[in-house]
Amino acid sequence: MKIKNEELKSLSLSVLSKHGYTELESQQIFDSLLWSERRGSSQGISKLFGWRIEKLPEATSPLIEKRESSMVQINANRNNHILACNLAVSEILSSIGERPIFISGIKNAVNSSGSLGYFTEKFAKSGFVAIMLSAADPGVAPFGGSEPVFGTNPISISIPTDGDPILFDMSVASLTWGDLITHQHLHKPLPEGYAFDEKGEPTTDPTKAMDGCVTSFDQSPKGSGLAMMIQILAGPLVGSIYSKDHSGCQYGSLIIVINPSSFGDKTTFIKSVLDMITQVKSSRRVPEFSEILIPGESGYRASRNNSKKDGIEIPVELFSKINKFISK
């Protein structure tokens, strides 16, 4: 069903308020979810529920725990990961200046960071290259296994251009938590071979998969290895505790921002990037493809198209769930 933009915003903010967030916190979380929704990402409005979205009683505002010349460490203080990431982005953009590189580690968050591209895009639009990794609680099985060990652990890389950034954003999981929630709302079975229940048995039931785990995106040692590396870099390295126990595992993120001017002329860099885009898009296609897209291109098209409309399509089941939750 189609819901008007202002109604979607009002309902979403009401849900987030009932989850325990302040008006400012709710707006920040909603902005991230809406950005994702408009791009057709699984990290959109469906994430108003699940993924440990509720604000914990002990949560306090994220704060800067440590600062050095080219780094800042953010303690999420058991609060929402998106709020901590916003603080990190703000601190980096206000501090990097002419520095060649700036790094931020985020620790002690309790839930998903949402779309990493929402954050890395901000750096690319300011002229910087950005790499972001996030670690989550166990939900992905290692290659050859059938129990959750790694998080869905996304990675995003954004590159500035003279227009839309090149925006790469992916999870190491074959199915994200947002995918599972969406399938659950639609009463739609999962593809076969991508998920296990809590006993390690294959399942196509999204609810059972939530209690179990999914495979890595490529179901190979490469995907499993990437999941482990991200878990380490965005977990223990930044000070977040890793645990196979959901309640004891902290979410963390690592953001690396690079100033292209440090390696040479920035204009030359941008021109080289544009030349590469041209080469990719003009390369020979296989017959079944009408066009070759660069990372992020389909998302920007979808976002622009959806932004022109006075409304967004969401599942009827999700709309009903929102209204029932608000009216409790």
pLDDT, tens digit only, all 328 positions of the chain: 899 999 999 999 999 999 999 999 999 999 999 999 999 998 999 999 987 899 999 999 999 999 999 999 999 999 999 999 999 999 999 999 999 999 999 999 999 999 999 999 999 999 999 999 999 989 999 999 999 999 999 999 999 999 999 999 999 999 987 788 888 878 899 999 999 999 999 999 999 999 999 999 999 999 999 999 999 999 999 999 887 776 778 999 999 999 999 999 999 999 999 999 999 999 999 999 999 999 999 999 999 999 988 889 988 989 999 999 999 8
> Is position 214 within any domain?
yes
> Is position 300 within any domain?
no
Residue 186: the pLDDT is 83
How many Cα atoms are found within 13 Å in the side-chain-facing hemisphere of 81?
A: 31
Residue 182: the pLDDT is 84
CA dist 245 and 217 (Å) reads: 22
Residue 291: the pLDDT is 96
pTM: 0.94
> Is position 43 within any domain?
no
> Is position 109 within any domain?
yes
Residue 219: the pLDDT is 94
Number of domains, the chain: 1
Give the domain extent around 68.
59-263
Residue 184 burial by Cβ neighbours in a 10 Å radius (0-12, 13-18, 19+): buried
> Is position 63 within any domain?
yes
Residue 9: the pLDDT is 97
CA dist 8 and 1 (Å) reads: 12
> Is position 54 within any domain?
no
Q: Are 185 and 206 in contact (CB under 8 A)?
A: no
Q: Are 219 and 208 in contact (CB under 8 A)?
A: no
> Is position 293 within any domain?
no
> Is position 170 within any domain?
yes
Q: Residue 97: which CATH number?
A: 3.30.1370.60
Q: Are 326 and 19 in contact (CB under 8 A)?
A: no
